[in-house]
Structure 1
Amino acid sequence: MPELRTDRLALRAWRESDLDPWAAMNADPEVRRYFPEVLTREQSEASITRFQADLDRRGWGWWAVEVVATGEFIGFAGLDPVDEDMPFTGVEAGWRLARPAWGHGYATEAALAVVEFGFGELGLSEILAVTTATNVRSQAVMRRIGMTYDPADDFDDLTVPDGPLRRNVVYRIPAVKRPPAGV
């Protein structure tokens, strides 16, 4: 399984030591603000098991993210095929970081690394990203990595209770507009 590296980050396999900070992150209502609920420790542990199984099977997926200089686990980033219940198909880029890691450019740096991997190593023709219409911080990352938004792609996630989290937006980047190398 490849490890992705940037100047400041390592996107790597999951470790047993990631469980405590991952569970704490998923129990933080602010980190999970754009999701219907926080996760229990058991749900967080199950997600790590799924993520690592995908990495082992495919060689790509949702990597753990750590700061190279300190070895600190700060969240996850990666690529994953779009869920079957979505109104579109493709491969989605995503990221989620613990609150202390916000505001340092880590999300953009990790997102650029996974997009470059998707185009360079996987040969994808397009990568997309999905978030709630209210998650402007994530949409800002999408724009910074060169993705574009088309309101025609907006959709309601019917698995989410009616309210501000139901409406979703989709950003896309084609391989011809891939970000600059050397992230």
Structure 2
Amino acid sequence: MTEIRTPRLLLRRWNDDDLVPLSEINADPEVMRWIGDGSVRDLDETAGDIERWEEEWDDEGFGLFAVELLASGELIGAVGLTVPDALPEFAHEVEITWRLGRSFWGQGYASEAAHATLEFALQDRGLDRVIAINRAGNDESENVIRKLGMELDRNATHPVHGHLLQVHTIDLTEYDA
């Protein structure tokens, strides 16, 4: 079982107890406004997300981690790696992504979990390059991307929703653990 511990967080695979807390996070319009078309997700859609992430773990050897606070065991969101199949232009890449409950924003948790995930990607999984796709205007995620040391590579347009995307990259030679 793949687990990563940081000073405050446990990144781990998903279990049945995670469905309800993640569905509560996914039901918050402020959390979801930058994801896909900005729609909230219900319990069934959230279950499908978790199932898809677990399948990616089995197929690719990476996926999105469930992120919990070490101090309380509370699920605060998801951070991890995925192949962005919904964006055909990037389907050959591996993307780092995160989604935390709003009450956990502004406390450094996204950066802490993303740093651990990037190290996992480049050192443990042997990936040569990782991208981050950020919707233009999402300054909070842009801040996390900068903290990871990722550089803007190019802009793109979402093929379905039409919004501007910023694609950032980092490769093994640029990574400073």
TM-score grouping bracket, smaller chain normalisation: over 0.9
Match of 2:102 in 1: 99
Does residue 1:86 correspond to 2:83, yes or no?
no
Aligned with 1:127 (options 127, 130, 134):
130
Report the alpha carbon displacement of residue 91 of structure 1 after superposing the two structures with TM. 0.7
Aligned length: 174
Report the alpha carbon displacement of residue 56 of structure 1 after superposing the two structures with TM. 3.4
Mapped to 2, the partners of 1:156 and 1:93 lie a distance apart of 18
Report the alpha carbon displacement of residue 53 of structure 1 after superposing the two structures with TM. 2.4
Aligned with 2:140 (options 137, 143, 161):
137
Report the alpha carbon displacement of residue 42 of structure 1 after superposing the two structures with TM. 0.8
Partner amino acid, structure 1, of 2:106: G
Structure scoring higher RCO (CA < 8 A, sep ≥ 6) equals 1
Mapped to 2, the partners of 1:29 and 1:84 lie a distance apart of 21
Distance 1:46 1:12, change over 3 A: same
Report the alpha carbon displacement of residue 175 of structure 1 after superposing the two structures with TM. 0.6
8 A contact 2:53–2:64 mirrored in 1: yes
8 A contact 1:112–1:179 mirrored in 2: no
Does residue 1:159 correspond to 2:156, yes or no?
no
> Where in structure 1 are there 5+ consecutive unaligned residues?
none
Aligned with 1:114 (options 86, 92, 117):
117
8 A contact 1:26–1:32 mirrored in 2: yes
Aligned with 1:53 (options 52, 55, 69):
55
> Where in structure 2 are there 5+ consecutive unaligned residues?
none
More deviation, 61-70/51-60? 51-60
Report the alpha carbon displacement of residue 48 of structure 1 after superposing the two structures with TM. 1.0
Mapped to 1, the partners of 2:66 and 2:88 lie a distance apart of 25
Partner amino acid, structure 2, of 1:171: H
Match of 2:65 in 1: 63
Q: For each residue in 1:22-62, what CA deviation from the matched residue of structure 2 results, as whole angstroms up to 9, or x when unmatched?
A: 11111100001113111111101111111122223433211
Mapped to 1, the partners of 2:176 and 2:100 lie a distance apart of 21
Match of 1:26 in 2: 26
Does residue 1:76 correspond to 2:71, yes or no?
no
Alpha carbon RMSD of aligned pairs, Å?
1.4
SS of residue paired to 2:45 = helix
TM-score (structure 2 length as normaliser): 0.92
Partner amino acid, structure 1, of 2:2: P
Does residue 1:42 correspond to 2:47, yes or no?
no
